[in-house]
A and B are shown apart, each in its own frame.
Chain A
């Protein structure tokens, strides 16, 4: 119903008619891309402003010492270009990421790719071991009432424990026995990633409802057949969800595992070395590399999830 007085022929008086540009605008604002980009832009602007504020005192002191006249613009430029800023500006981090990945040979210890690979290899090894262990434990818990009653409470309790605190000890102790390099770190990643997988998989393997399990009974399916044909497919969404948590935890484990060995190689070592020598830009670039890696790993698990669920005929 249009209000009295408003002519029906007026543009926009129809059934919500909009011009093509307006329509595009509405659609973009209703989607997720524009809001995300807006928030990101706001973060970058705030970051630059924060860089001015946090580096202001040190930079003015430096300019004062130079004893040459300077303007406010000079100071602001200096806060965005300092060599050891308290908070580096975003472009400095991007430049550092570029120089330490593209301009340096990947095999050199000055390359961020080298360190990222060291961390990634132990993350992946630990994650795969952790997932296998988690699934095996979940199947054990599913089939043994005793394990379910005795082990499961401990697994749940152990999620409330700051397990990461144990990481330095594992590294140093295994080092003392002669186990070095990839394995100790992978061990920590395994330890961190198997808990979410076990808990998720126990839930997943129990998710088929009574009717379906009874159906398997009427087919006179054995326990292992029920497991393979019903419980395992039904648990897939749970597996992938917990794998996403697990892979992120595995990465954290690998990074923290690199701390106590005295900063040799890896993103964690890069963080520690940066904090020893006050190289803030190096710390931030290592942090961003770790963030990218986590994002990519979670995204890859998501891809595997979509692919396998599609193959299994699940509707998305």
Chain B
């Protein structure tokens, strides 16, 4: 197995050739974009086939070094995504799809570049005010409630099934009520986020606090640890994977909550407001720009929490390297 160097020079040459061919076909496709017709279709299909072959060839490589493997794990999906974007661009422009229906990625990019200040204002209103405040309050409240409930098995048995049910319910429906109670500005959106993030945090923390094994608990007892000490030194650290799981679920939920709550009434700024207003004007590139920002914010905040998780739960088998 280890005799042949992987990737072999022949594979590398093959890869390079396929990549260059794909680029060439792509350039040809863009060149005939104006005339359209069968030639474009054939070129687009050819490009797709070549890109697929390139991805397949890359997937087959098993590099030995860790760095190369990481690079490949990023490169392959990136290549796949870029292929999809290029095909989207070719299809939309080649078939002359009206931009209202589906704008080409280039138009979306131009819109993003042209309206950065507007997008930034929406980002500040929705994410920095509503989502952050609601996320912190909702997760904090869920965490503290879990710590309190943990002291009483009776409460745990009573509250946990209800909280489990609540996290499956369409809580987003409280948005109109919160808008009525807290007004149009960001505080009502933060309230929706609080309600949405509370139950996943509660359920996961309670489950996490039970995660420490009986051996470790007995050890704490032999040390004569008080309940507070054993909570701080054993059970909370053991609960961290669960708590981070809730934190990760909640990053997406919080964004959804804030954006959807804005559909029920806002001042004239905010990502949800912009989406519903621009849709009314059939300005789809702007909507896509806003969605791109939302997607970026969602993945980045998820990534941030995941990064923090790796730091905090370095002892966990899923994080540990060995």
Give CA–CA (A244, B272) in the complex, Å: 28
Residues of B within 8 A of A248 (CB): 168-170
User: When the two chains form their complex, are residues B302 and A168 in contact, meaning their CB atoms are under 8 A apart?
Assistant: no
B227 within 8 A of A: no
Interface string of B153-190 (1 = CB under 8 A from A): 01111110110010011101111110111000000000
Total cross-chain contacts (CB, 8 A): 169
User: When the two chains form their complex, are residues A166 and B177 in contact, meaning their CB atoms are under 8 A apart?
Assistant: no
Give CA–CA (A161, B255) in the complex, Å: 8
Give CA–CA (A166, B271) in the complex, Å: 11
B256 within 8 A of A: yes
User: When the two chains form their complex, are residues A291 and B176 in contact, meaning their CB atoms are under 8 A apart?
Assistant: no
Q: Which of A8-16, A56-64, A251-259 forms part of the interface with chain B?
A: A251-259
Residues of A within 8 A of B177 (CB): 275, 280, 283-284, 287
Known A271-B173, A283-B176: A146·B59 in contact at CB below 8 Å: yes
Residues of B within 8 A of A151 (CB): 77, 80
Closest A residue to B59 using CB positions = A149
**Contacting B298 at CB < 8 Å: which of A162, A252, A256, A272?**
A162
B81 within 8 A of A: yes
Q: Tell me which residues from 33 to 76 in chain A have a Cβ below 8 Å from any Cβ of chain B.
A: 34-40
**Contacting A168 at CB < 8 Å: which of B170, B279, B303?**
B279
Give CA–CA (A64, B73) in the complex, Å: 70
User: When the two chains form their complex, are residues B172 and A173 in contact, meaning their CB atoms are under 8 A apart?
Assistant: no
Interface string of A280-306 (1 = CB under 8 A from B): 100110110011001100100000000
Residues of B within 8 A of A39 (CB): 155, 158-159, 162
Interface string of A145-173 (1 = CB under 8 A from B): 11011111110010111111110110011
Residues of A within 8 A of B60 (CB): 145
Give CA–CA (A31, B162) in the complex, Å: 15
B56 within 8 A of A: yes
User: When the two chains form their complex, are residues B176 and A149 in contact, meaning their CB atoms are under 8 A apart?
Assistant: no
**Contacting B264 at CB < 8 Å: which of A86, A168, A252, A275?**
A275
Residues of A within 8 A of B180 (CB): 86, 275, 278, 280
Interface majority SS (helix, strand, loop, mixed), chain B: helix
Min C-beta distance of B318 to chain A, whole Å: 13
Give CA–CA (A222, B181) in the complex, Å: 62
Which among A148, A165, A244 has the greatest number of chain B C-beta atoms within 10 A?
A165
A32 within 8 A of B: yes
**Contacting B284 at CB < 8 Å: which of A29, A160, A169?**
A169
Min C-beta distance of B9 to chain A, whole Å: 22
User: When the two chains form their complex, are residues A150 and B168 in contact, meaning their CB atoms are under 8 A apart?
Assistant: no
Q: Range of interface residues on chain B?
A: 35 or more
User: When the two chains form their complex, are residues B176 and A271 in contact, meaning their CB atoms are under 8 A apart?
Assistant: yes
A274 within 8 A of B: yes
User: When the two chains form their complex, are residues B157 and A161 in contact, meaning their CB atoms are under 8 A apart?
Assistant: no
Give CA–CA (A278, B303) in the complex, Å: 40
Known A145-B59, A146-B55: A168·B275 in contact at CB below 8 Å: yes
A208 within 8 A of B: no
B236 within 8 A of A: no
B287 within 8 A of A: yes
B205 within 8 A of A: no
Min C-beta distance of B18 to chain A, whole Å: 13
A260 within 8 A of B: yes
**Contacting A290 at CB < 8 Å: which of B170, B175, B265, B276?**
B170
User: When the two chains form their complex, are residues B81 and A35 in contact, meaning their CB atoms are under 8 A apart?
Assistant: no
**Contacting B172 at CB < 8 Å: which of A146, A159, A256?**
A256
User: When the two chains form their complex, are residues B259 and A40 in contact, meaning their CB atoms are under 8 A apart?
Assistant: no
Residues of A within 8 A of B58 (CB): 149
Interface string of B78-109 (1 = CB under 8 A from A): 01110000000000000000001110000000
User: When the two chains form their complex, are residues B101 and A173 in contact, meaning their CB atoms are under 8 A apart?
Assistant: yes
Number of A positions contacting B (CB below 8 A): 60
A314 within 8 A of B: no
B282 within 8 A of A: yes
A176 within 8 A of B: yes
A177 within 8 A of B: yes
User: When the two chains form their complex, are residues B161 and A172 in contact, meaning their CB atoms are under 8 A apart?
Assistant: no
Interface string of B112-139 (1 = CB under 8 A from A): 0000000000000000000000000000
User: When the two chains form their complex, are residues B161 and A291 in contact, meaning their CB atoms are under 8 A apart?
Assistant: no
Residues of B within 8 A of A161 (CB): 252, 294-295, 298-299
Min C-beta distance of B192 to chain A, whole Å: 13
**Contacting B294 at CB < 8 Å: which of A165, A252, A260, A275?**
A165
Closest A residue to B83 using CB positions = A150
Q: Could you pull out 29 A-B pairs where Cβ atoms are within 8 angstroms?
A: A36-B161, A37-B158, A86-B180, A149-B76, A150-B55, A159-B252, A160-B252, A160-B301, A161-B298, A162-B259, A162-B294, A163-B256, A165-B271, A169-B288, A172-B279, A173-B101, A173-B284, A248-B168, A252-B172, A255-B172, A255-B173, A256-B172, A256-B260, A260-B279, A275-B180, A280-B180, A287-B174, A295-B169, A298-B168
Residues in chain B within 8 A of chain A (CB atoms): 52, 55-56, 58-60, 73, 76-77, 79-81, 100-102, 154-159, 161-162, 165, 168-170, 172-177, 179-181, 251-252, 255-256, 259-260, 263-265, 271-272, 275-276, 279-280, 282, 284, 287-288, 290-291, 294-295, 298-299, 301-303
- 4 more contacts with CB within 8 A, not counting A169-B284, A169-B291, are A161-B294, A161-B295, A256-B172, A275-B264
